[in-house]
Structure formats: structure tokens, C-alpha cells
Structure 1
Amino acid sequence: MTHHRHDGLNRRAFLAGSAAGASLIALHPFSARAGAGQVHLRLMETTDLHVHVYPYDYYSDRPVDTVGLARTAAHVAELRAEAANAMLVDNGDFLQGNPMGDFIAYERGVRAGEVHPIIRAMNAVGFDAATLGNHEFNYGLDFLMSSIAGAEFPVVSANIARELGVSPTADGTLLPPYVIVERALVDGAGVAHPIRVGFIGFVPPQIVTWDRKHLEGRVTTRDIVACARAWVPQMKEAGADLIVALNHSGIGEPGHVEGQENASVPLSELDGIDVIMTGHQHLAFPGRAFEGIPGVDTKRGTIRGKPAVMGGFWGSHLGVVDLMLGREAGEWRILAHQSALRPIARRNADRSVTPLVQSRRPVLDAVARDHADTLAYIRRAVGRTRAPLYSYFALVADDPSVQIVSNAQLWYVRELLKGTAHEGLPLLSAAAPFKAGGRSGPDYYTDVPAGDIAIKHVADLYLYPNTVRAVLVTGAQLRGWLERAAGMFNRITSGGRDQVLLNPDFPSYNFDVIDGVEYQIDLGQPARYGPRGRLVNPDAARIVDLTWAGRPVTDEMKFVVATNSYRAGGGGDFPGAMGDTIILEAPDTNRDVIVRYIAERGEIDPTADGNWRLAPMPGTTVLFDTGPKAVRYLDDMRALSIEPAGDGPDGFARFRIAL
């Protein structure tokens, strides 16, 4: 598991472009101050790239300045020049996440001897190690293994096993659990010293639920902290001088919980782990997003005193940990450390974006053909829409972009249920708005104009390569499902003015709207479930006037709900969708079903049917932040009493809703 670094042609080409300007870049203070026996080691992290190489939004089919490994690579070149010694790692979720990923997975494939474009780009930048994220498994295990076969850097993951042993170190792991990279670090006196840097990888153990179709019977997972506790001593015995956790897991609960999804805080408490690379949450650390978590210093960028970073998503930031290391009696120890982020763009007060770096040409060239092929792929027309499809108001009113997904799922599942024991049951459909701003920013919304619908538009409506599922639920479970989704909203005081409506910790992809029933959401009641699905108020009842075919829904009624593989398998922890209620596992992706639904009709009219609404609260107003382009569709919001209310934070537009 020891890796000796070699520089290939791609890496030399990448570095050649930065050599001319290197002399103009000042050394980091650690490099400048290092004396004999002291070295400055810079660790750089990308995370959650999701196949974003070009600074391009394939959904809107236009260049953007806020994404792309080609841009992040400019920081890599600069930071390598600033430090005497530097290493670069990726923290997972690189293989899926935009239409280029879909095009390679579904159209072109990765044959023996070929290299996946994201891997080709990463090879060009020159990574020292990487780990897997949860989305690496979305296209199946065989595709994953074929894709990473072309990596010129080791890919490690400790808590995924093909065969479980009596302990983690006895497992037959899918990949090497760790790698020890041998480097020679130059100290302040110009003397080279050997160091062995160990990188160990972790993924949320929930992957076996989220991608059950691909993984069941093939791999299993272990708890992150328990796995680390077993492997880290072995890494020390193998000679690791420094251990870096590549933890595709966020910064969550401070205490350890078995099977924890976001386990970076308890992981940092383990002896032997020196640095934590985090990800998965699509947030930035150091940063305000994690204020209030015990043991987390959001300004210094430490967790339990240890340096850590989370480098945003889609290449938006490069995470940087600078270490001043001292060598005494043949052993290395950390004398000082700093954590920081290097963003690739800045959002201005007027909502415009200023790029802070330019793309590296060798990285663009590495995937130029794939980029061109992806553009041709996304521009194929499959039908027409009479009305625009947009998600600016999807969290406050029934929405056309969600409606078309529900309509397609109902159409597809209804046919598959014919002739089965479930054919005569009421058929419902659950769908959520995937692009609805939030942490992804004020431009992250679906906005498809009336006219031709291309594959890029369908991919914009439905971001993930989930497959269709149907579940059988009771009326009680149906109500619980809707209560779980209603955690999207803060509790609102009747008669209050300008209260903040949305809970920022609740992701929009968990705001399921269920078509086929009618209901209202009473915001005066507390949420029954917290943002992560934990039951916090068992007796709370936000869902009111829930009816099917004009009749009140009772607990014992039976319904079939069309949904997706992620939700049906337990993703999001929704009542009635925990993997044990599935009655239909369809072979087609939800996205393909939408394409076929549109193509069969030729033209669609995606008007929302208004089956849900926020319950009236006279004399009460709330504030709702959405993308600034929402104002173009304000006249469509006839079911809401809504008006502009100025600028929101971070480039969002603010609206006032009278309940």
C-alpha cells in the first residue's frame, strides 16, 4: 500500500504553464521561516467535483465562472509555487453529477484502455490520492471500477467491503483502505528529508441503502469511526509519519452515532489522525455554516483542534491545509498549522460574479472532445412544451417543474401495474424540486422556456440517475411522508410580520410533493421531523385537510406511490419509504421516463394542478428568498399573495408572502 510518486507527461504539461510566473509568487510564511529540520507541507483538497471540468453549465447550456476543475487547477499551480512541498487530494463524488457524467455512463461507456474524462482531467492536474464519494456508485459497481482504472493516482476507501471479516482489518475491501505516499520534503536549509504520508478514505455507510440496486449482495459498509479506529494503528505500524483522513463525510453531530453519515467531528478525536479532509455537504470550511457545533472552530478551520477543510463543490473552492513540520529524533510532528479556502469566483453585491482565476488550458484540452460530445448530447430535442418550466417558487406553491416529473411517473407506473394485484389501488406520485437555490446559490434553479425540450432540459428537471420505484403505503404512512417533507418550513407565529419561511438546513430534494391527493400545510404547528428525518415532535400535525378523491384519508387506506430508487430505498428517512414497502422495481431511470413521456406526447402543457398549498394564516407574512429571475414569473403565482421585498443575502431576491 506504499505509493512512490512519479510525474507523467500530463502533469509536466500542466506545470509548464505555471513555471514562468512562479518567481513572481511569494513563498508562504511557513516556507519562508522554516529552518533546518523544519519543512512546510501544503495539503490541497478538491471535493464533490461531480464531473465539472469546464466552467460550463450544461443545463442552461452556457459558460459560468463558478464551477470547474480547470479553474480550480489555476489555484493548484499557484499554491504549488508558494510552498516548498505540496500534495493534492480529492475527497470523492467526482464521477456523477452533470450531463457529461450521464453521457459517458449511458451513451459512450468506458471500455478497456479508455480513461473517463474526469479521471483524465484529474491526471492532468496531478493528484496524489483520492477517495470515493457516495455518488460514485450511482452508475453501478462495474462502471465505477472501469472508470477509476485509468487513474494515475491511488484511490482508497476503508469502509467498503466485498467480504466482511471478524474486524475491519480482516475485511476484503473493495479498494485499498489506505495508501502511504513516500516523499522527500526539503527543509529550510535545503536538505531533503523522507516522509511517509498516509491517506485513508471513508464514505457514508448509507451507500448500501442509497444505491441498493447496484450494491446489494456485492458490497457492504462499516461505520466510519469504528473502521478508522481499526485501520489507523496499522497505518502507524506500516510507517506512516502523518495520517490524513479523506473523509467524504460532513461535519455533523459532535458525538459518535453508529452508522453516522456526517462523522468528521468524532473521527477527529481518534489518536493518530492528523488532518481531516471533509466533503459531502457541499459547504465551505472554514466558514460560518458550521458555527455552534461543539469542537468546531469555524475561523481557524479546526475540528477538535486538528486542521480540516471542506472545499465547497463543483470546483468552487480549493481547500488548503498548511503544516509546519519539525523532525526530531527521526520523527515528524506538527509545529503549526493553518486552514484556508481559495475560491474560484466572487459574487458581488449586485449579484454579478467576478472570476478570480482563469481555466488551465491543459485541463480543458484533456476533455475537449468529451465536452463537445456532451454539448451535442444535451441539445437533442425530444418534444415541446407550451409553457415554461421553472422552479423559483417550487418550495411555496405547486410547481410546473415538479408536476411534469409526477405526471411522467404516474404514466409509467400505471402501465406497469396493469394486471397486477395492485392495479386497482389509488396511485400517487412523489417528486421534489432538485434545483431550488439553497446552498447552491441564486442561479441554481430550473428555467426552461416554452418551445423545444432537449435532453439538457430533462436533465435539468431531474438531476440524478435514479430508477423508478413504487411503494405500497397506508394512509398513516402517507401522512407521515408528507409531515417529513413539511419540515422544509420554520414554525410561523400567527399574526407575525416578515418571518423567515424556509429552514436553511432542509435540502429541497427532500421536499416531496405527492400528487393524487390534496392537502394543506399548517405552518403554525411545529415540524414533526427535523431536517435529517429525526422524529422531534411525535404529536405535531402540519398536514391538514388531506383528501383523496374528495374523501378524507384515513390511517388504514392503501396507496401506491410512484417514486425513485433513492427515496424508496430509505433515502431521507421517510415513513413508508424505508426499503420494506417496495412493490415495483422498474428498469428505467426517472429521467428516461420523462424523456419518453414527452416524446410520446410530442407537446406537453406542464401546468401545476394546485393539489397542495400553505394553510391560510390571516394577518401573517413571511419572507421567501429565491433566484432574482423569479420576478419574470411573478404573474403566474395566482394562488399566492406575493410581492417583491428587496434583496436577500448572497445574491438571492426576497419576496413577501401574505398567508
Structure 2
Amino acid sequence: MNRQLQSISRRSFLAGSAAAGSLVLMHPFSARAAGNQAHLRIMETTDLHVHVFPYDYYADKPNDTMGLARTASIIDAIRAEATNSILVDNGDFLQGNPMGDYIAYERGMKDGDVHPVIKGMNTLGYDCATLGNHEFNYGLDFMFKVLDGANFPFVCANLTKGQLAASGRDDALFLKPYVVLDRKVKDGDGNEHPIRIGLIGFVPPQIMNWDAKHLSGKAMTRDIVRAAEAWVPQMKEEGAELIVALSHSGIGPAQYEENLENASLLLAGVDGIDAIVTGHSHLDFPGVKFDGMEGVDNAAGTIGGKPGVMGGFWGSHLGLIDLLLERDGNAWKIVSSTSEARPIFKRVERATEPLVESKAEVEDAVRADHEATLKYVRTAVGKTSAPLYSYFALVADDPSVQIVSQAQTWYITEMLKDGAYKDLPVLSAAAPFKAGGRGGPDYYTDVPAGDVAIKNVADLYLYPNTVQAVLVTGADVKEWLEMSAGIFNQIEPGKADQVLLDPTFPSYNFDVIDGVTYAIDLSQPPKYTSKGEPLNAGASRITDLQYNGAPIDPAQKFVVATNNYRGGGGGNFPGISADKVIFAAPDTNRDVIVRYIVEQGAINPSADANWRFKPLENTSVLFETGPKGAAFAGEVKGVSIAPAGEGNEGFALYRITL
């Protein structure tokens, strides 16, 4: 029955105003509720990260996959599908795009100011919200000034000011641990009944590491599950008939460990919690990525047997939990549920197509801040002493990759400086994303020397990856590079003008590792296929691999800064998988690059030629790049690059003498 109702609820519902005479197709729970039953819809936004407008400030262009203004346009329609509803936000609304940085670093927050994301949220009738980890990125004082502008309450049960009381409850919290809403719900006969809905919030305990500079000595966190066990009974004592957890925490393991970052599955198991809205992981649940996960029923939309949802990120989805409640004496109980993450766009082949338009009221509330942010992203935040280009990123050490590695090394060194890995050397792995290929002859990074604006960062780093650090050995570093070197065809010594690059090998899997030096012997066959499968077990393309001027010790341990795609096993690099991850940052690689440029003021991204091709006598190779690369061919260190005519489909052909 549950699954049948879920299937019905996922249809494309018609919506509109009664005044306009439009038909509203009610959710089955509202349409079929009996006299002693009521339908309650819980609507969730999560991980907005200041995305109010459907606009990518890094790329400086509209984007149909994001924006609270788009999500808002379906809230009224979705409310109309249900007899009763509440709207909550699950955290991470305050930081994550240039608008957030503009308000925090440039304009600031004076007493009485209302933050733009709060302006947008205030138009929508939220009932409650909790905190995410990114709310702390700008410090406690800034955060509380922002919260003061909201016309809805914030709750967080595991952010404390001091030690726990003997009861397990700490009255010295920064916010209320929960609220109990007194509401009325209409039953199937149209009669109203009182109901008391409890909402309790949680933040990942890892904020004490991620934002130690803002929180150390000022705040403490509690384990999410233990905090729930302490506070939920009190909510029951105060008469909460239905308790919904606002968990800014992913759907994690089924086995308890103290202070888990992703604890929503275990939280759902706390006695007294009836439903759970989640986030933090930037995924949509129910969704295919949760198929087969222990403790999760993707078809029924339950987490640990409780109704649950995760509404994507940046406003991409509205999370929906629909509850059919039944009056049992003087209390309500859940007799059935469905869950859905309803999107604001759909993908058509490689393109996106909007399913909704923006809600004008939300955009109007934030328009002045949007315009100010556009001016901000188009204004220089630093300078580069050398141009940042990727025309030769696949054949030589490259400045556009170099700056990414510099920023990642800077960030991970800072993050790990006080922990168990503080004494280990930090390397950095980065790959060129804009390197021609299917993108065409103009698909290259090209930022001139001089001022660097925030929007230029999109040219340096295309994807919204987050930073991770993995713990590897010197032997792992070599295999990592062997895999990367698979982008090159095997070259026959003494032969002229051989094709250098394998077009089936994606440029985003050509990792350059900064912090070591090495050469690539093109006369050797590749050791791995483009999919990471063993190809030539005895091959060794990576030669003269050194750290600190000496041959690398295969047993030495290294920390390598990378992104969540690679750290999670993306690209099937040998020896690199999620179990090697020692630090999963809350920050995107883009944000880290921006912070690095702002911190440094002036950057010097000149490539240091830490890798090269091993010389092969009387041998040359050909490769294609964008014709605009001609302006930089003479600047490439350690590589003899010369024009060799026109390539295919607008590309230019170049020759390297090895």
C-alpha cells in the first residue's frame, strides 16, 4: 500500500489557484482521508548555500538547476495538494556562493540588517529551521546577526556553550533545542483538530574541526544521537504528538560510533522520533544512489523504518514527506507515509530544462543584493603575476593546474595542522578540466595576468567538487601517476610526428601531483586502461620519481589533497578509494581557490615544471590545442613546442621534439 501511494504521489500534479479556476489534484492521503484521519505534508529545503536566484555567479550566467526562487514557485502549488502542511529548512543556507562571501566579507551585517537569503526565506512562511555546518564559516557573531532577521525559529539540540548537566541535557545551548508547534489539522470530513508538532534540530559535531578558528573555546558539540536521546523524552513530556527531526547530517552507517558526521539513519532509530528530514550530503532521497543501502527503503521512502527525505542542494529539489495520520483516542499516529524529492528541472540528454519559473516575490526581495553580488564577482579580488591558461595542460606542467594545487595544499595544510597527520608531507593532485576535446577549440582556461575576479574561478575549476585528503604511500603515489600517464599513446623512439594523446582518455583523469618531481617515459606502454583496469602489469612509465630531491620511499606516508570525486574512487585509480579518505572538507574546491587568492592578494601560478617527458632521441610527437595557445607556446618550461599547421575542426596542431 505504501509503495502504491508513493507511486501515485510522484505523478506530475496539476496546480494553480482556485481563483483562476485551475484544477488541483490532491495527494491521495488528502483525497481519501476518513473522518478520523488527516493528511500532513512536511516540505523541506536543505543546503541552499545562499542560492536564491537561479544564477551561477562563478560562471556569471543564469542556471536552471538552482535557486530558492525556483523552488519557491512550486511551494504554493505543493501546499495546495495537501490539506495540511508545514515548511522547514534543514541548514547550510548561509555560505556557499559569492553572494554569501560578498555579504560576509564586503558589506557586512549591521544590527537590524536582513541577510538576502533570509529575505527570500521570509517570504515563504517557514515554520522552523535548523543549522548546518556552513552557518559557522563566518563566525558566531555574524551567524547570530543573520538569525535575528528571520521571522521563523531556529533550533539546534547539540550545539552547547559548556559541559553537560547530569541529566544529559545542557540548558546552556545557543538556540532552543526544539519547538513544539500548536497547529490544527483538517480531517477527511473537513473538521479541525488540534495537534502538537515537535521539531528538533542537529548539526554535525565536525564543525569543531572545520571551524575551529571560530568555535574553539566558544562552543561545544554533542553526539547527534545522544542529544536526541536526551531531548526527545522532554518533547514528549511537553505534549508533542508528532516529532520531526531536522537533521543536517547524511544518511550514514547503521553501526553506532560516537560523533558520526552522517548519523541520520541512527537518529531515525531514536524512540519518539516519527519522521526525519536530512541533508548535508547534497543528494536526493528517495533516489537511486540509496538503492541497496542498509537500513534504507528507497521505494518506501523510509530511513530506519521512519518516513524520511533529503531535498538535494542549492534549491534543486523540494523534499516532501506525506503522512496519513489517524486519531487514536486523544492522540495521532502515522498509519502510512510517502516521500519524494521533487525537482525544479529535468535533464534532457546533456542539457537541463526548467520545470518551473522563479517566484517573483522572492526575487524582488533579494534583487538589490543580487545586483550587488554581480558587481562583486566582476570586481578583482586579487592579482596573478602570470596568465592562467590550459592550452598545454596535457603536455607540460601548467599554470591553471598549478594554482589549484597551490590552493589545495594551502587549505589541507591548515585543516590538518593540529591533528594526527600534522607531521606528514602534503602533496596535491589536480587535473585540467577545460582542455579542448569535445568542448572544441575554444574550450580552454584563459585568464590574463593582472586582476583576478571571482567569476574567473569558474574558468579554473568547472565543477562543484569538495576538497578531500587521502592518506597514501609513496608506492600509491607512483601508481596514481601511472594511471594518469595512460592519457599518452605509446611512442616509438626514433620516429617522427607520432600522435601523442589518446582521445578516449578524459582530461579530468589526468592528475598532476604537485610536491614531487617525475618524468614520463613514453616509450613504455600504459600500465592501466582509461578505466583503471590493469593492462601491462610490468610497465613503468613513471621514472625518476622524487620527493625533496631524493627517490621517493615506497613505504613513506603522504597526505594528498584532491577532490571528492577522486577521493571516493572516481576514475578507478589504483589504490584510491573512500577508505583512504582522512579528511572530507565542507568546502568546495572553488571556494578554496577564492579564499586562497583573497588571502594571498597576489598569486604566482607559474608552472614549476615538476614533471616532464623523458628524452627520446630523434623522436617527435603531435598534439592538438586551441589556436589561441600560440600566444603562450614559447613560455612553456622545459618542453620544445612548435606550430605544426592546422588541426581538425578548428584546432591547431603542435609538435614536441622529445
TM-score (norm 2): 0.69
Aligned length: 534
CA RMSD, 1 decimal: 5.0
Percent identical among aligned pairs is 49
Alignment of 1:520-559 (within 5 A): 546-554=545-553
Structure 1 position 300 matched with structure 2 position 303:
no
> How far 1:198 sits from its partner (Å)?
0.7
> Relative to 1, partners in 2 of residues 1:106 and 1:563: Cα closer, same or farther, differing over 3 Å?
farther
Moved more, 171-180 or 122-131: 171-180
Hey, what's the Cα distance between the residues in 1 that align with 2:627 and 2:368?
36
Hey, what's the Cα distance between the residues in 2 that align with 1:143 and 1:40?
39
Hey, what's the Cα distance between the residues in 2 that align with 1:79 and 1:174?
33
Q: Which amino acid aligns with 2:335?
A: L
Alignment of 1:641-656 (within 5 A): none
Structure 1 position 374 matched with structure 2 position 377:
no
2:454 corresponds to which residue? 456
1:594 corresponds to which residue? 597
Contact 1:410 1:427 in 2 (8 A): no
Hey, what's the Cα distance between the residues in 2 that align with 1:321 and 1:405?
41
Contact 1:478 1:575 in 2 (8 A): no
> Relative to 1, partners in 2 of residues 1:71 and 1:554: Cα closer, same or farther, differing over 3 Å?
same
1:71 corresponds to which residue? 70
2:196 corresponds to which residue? 196
Q: Which amino acid aligns with 1:449?
A: D
Contact 1:384 1:450 in 2 (8 A): no
Structure 1 position 174 matched with structure 2 position 174:
yes
Hey, what's the Cα distance between the residues in 2 that align with 1:403 and 1:458?
15
Q: Which amino acid aligns with 2:446?
A: P
Alignment of 1:632-643 (within 5 A): none
Hey, what's the Cα distance between the residues in 2 that align with 1:326 and 1:554?
67
Contact 1:484 1:574 in 2 (8 A): no
Listed as ranges, the gaps of 5+ residues in structure 1 are 1-16, 415-425, 465-470, 493-497, 503-507, 528-542, 565-571, 580-587, 614-629, 640-659
Hey, what's the Cα distance between the residues in 2 that align with 1:575 and 1:32?
49
3-state DSSP of counterpart to 1:77: helix
TM-score (norm 1): 0.69
Hey, what's the Cα distance between the residues in 2 that align with 1:176 and 1:189?
36
1:267 corresponds to which residue? 267
Q: Which amino acid aligns with 1:456?
A: I
> How far 1:368 sits from its partner (Å)?
0.5
> How far 1:68 sits from its partner (Å)?
0.2
Q: Which amino acid aligns with 1:335?
A: V
Structure 1 position 156 matched with structure 2 position 159:
no
Alignment of 1:89-100 (within 5 A): 89-100=88-99
Hey, what's the Cα distance between the residues in 1 that align with 2:268 and 2:482?
31
Contact 1:72 1:315 in 2 (8 A): yes
Contact 1:301 1:339 in 2 (8 A): yes
> Relative to 1, partners in 2 of residues 1:340 and 1:574: Cα closer, same or farther, differing over 3 Å?
closer
CA displacement 1:7-63 (0-9 Å, x = unmatched): xxxxxxxxxx96645842222111111121211100011111000000000000000
Contact 1:515 1:611 in 2 (8 A): no
> Relative to 1, partners in 2 of residues 1:378 and 1:241: Cα closer, same or farther, differing over 3 Å?
same
Alignment of 1:78-89 (within 5 A): 78-89=77-88
Hey, what's the Cα distance between the residues in 2 that align with 1:113 and 1:311?
31
Contact 1:200 1:246 in 2 (8 A): yes
1:238 corresponds to which residue? 238
> Relative to 1, partners in 2 of residues 1:131 and 1:346: Cα closer, same or farther, differing over 3 Å?
same
Hey, what's the Cα distance between the residues in 2 that align with 1:378 and 1:516?
34
Alignment of 1:447-526 (within 5 A): 448-451=445-448, 454-457=452-455, 459-460=457-458, 479=473, 513-518=513-518
2:205 corresponds to which residue? 205
Q: Which amino acid aligns with 2:188?
A: G
> How far 1:210 sits from its partner (Å)?
1.1
Q: Which amino acid aligns with 2:178?
A: Y
Structure 1 position 276 matched with structure 2 position 273:
no
Structure 1 position 248 matched with structure 2 position 245:
no
> Relative to 1, partners in 2 of residues 1:522 and 1:94: Cα closer, same or farther, differing over 3 Å?
farther
Q: Which amino acid aligns with 2:447?
A: A
Q: Which amino acid aligns with 1:374?
A: T
Structure showing greater Rg:
2
1:363 corresponds to which residue? 362
CA displacement 1:211-268 (0-9 Å, x = unmatched): 1111111111111111111111111111111011111111121221111111111111
Hey, what's the Cα distance between the residues in 2 that align with 1:561 and 1:341?
35
Alignment of 1:310-389 (within 5 A): 310-349=310-349, 351-381=350-380, 382-383=382-383, 389=389
Hey, what's the Cα distance between the residues in 2 that align with 1:544 and 1:138?
43
2:574 corresponds to which residue? none
1:403 corresponds to which residue? 402
Moved more, 241-250 or 17-26: 17-26
Moved more, 479-488 or 309-318: 479-488
Moved more, 57-66 or 171-180: 171-180
Q: Which amino acid aligns with 2:455?
A: H
Listed as ranges, the gaps of 5+ residues in structure 2 are 1-15, 414-422, 464-468, 487-501, 521-525, 533-541, 564-577, 586-590, 614-624, 641-658
Hey, what's the Cα distance between the residues in 1 that align with 2:205 and 2:157?
11
Hey, what's the Cα distance between the residues in 2 that align with 1:222 and 1:315?
29
Hey, what's the Cα distance between the residues in 2 that align with 1:435 and 1:155?
42
Contact 2:391 2:445 in 1 (8 A): no
Q: Which amino acid aligns with 1:252?
A: G
